[in-house]
């Protein structure tokens, strides 16, 4: 099979998980994290919904955000993780991500 066909097939599987409110997320999304950029973000959202903050944090800790949604998600993960683990550093990190997005002229 061609590479583009495989990518389309994986993208379809990814989208099915998203549109089915996370059903099958743990089977479909982990192998796609490095293939489809949104797969990492959607897996993090799944973990947040399941209150699995450690897995959500592990997936986001090394992400260098480029898009507003990535900054926001990184902020949410740090805020939740900071609350759960009583970490002021994570709360301050979350605040800085939120301020970056909130202070951006293009995001107002």
How does pLDDT run across 32-72, given as a tens digit for each residue? 999 998 999 999 999 999 999 999 999 999 999 999 999 99
Its domain, for residue 74, covers 53-108
Residue 19 burial (10 A CB sphere; 0-12, 13-18, 19+): exposed
Q: How far apart are CA 25 and CA 19, in angstroms?
A: 11
Confidence of residue 104 (pLDDT cuts 50, 70, 90): confident
The answer on 67 and 19 residing in a single domain is: no
pTM over 0.85: yes
Measured N-to-C along each axis, helices 53-60 and 37-49 cross at an angle, to the nearest 10 degrees, of 160
Q: How far apart are CA 57 and CA 52, in angstroms?
A: 9
pLDDT at 26 over 90: yes
The answer on 66 and 30 residing in a single domain is: no
Q: Within 10 Å of residue 33's Cβ, how many Cβ atoms?
A: 16
Q: How far apart are CA 29 and CA 79, in angstroms?
A: 24
The answer on 58 and 102 residing in a single domain is: yes
The answer on 108 and 57 residing in a single domain is: yes
């Amino acid at each position: 099979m061609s590479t583009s066909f495989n990518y389309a097939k994986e993208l379809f599987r990814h989208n099915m998980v998203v549109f089915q409110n996370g059903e099958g997320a743990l089977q479909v999304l982990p192998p796609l994290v490095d293939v489809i950029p949104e797969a990492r973000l959607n897996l993090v959202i799944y973990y947040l919904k399941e209150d699995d903050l450690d897995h959500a944090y592990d997936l986001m800790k090394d992400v260098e955000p480029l898009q507003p949604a990535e900054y926001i998600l990184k902020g949410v993960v740090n805020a939740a993780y900071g609350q759960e683990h009583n970490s002021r550093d994570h709360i301050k990190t979350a605040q800085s991500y939120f301020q970056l997005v909130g202070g951006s002229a293009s995001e107002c």
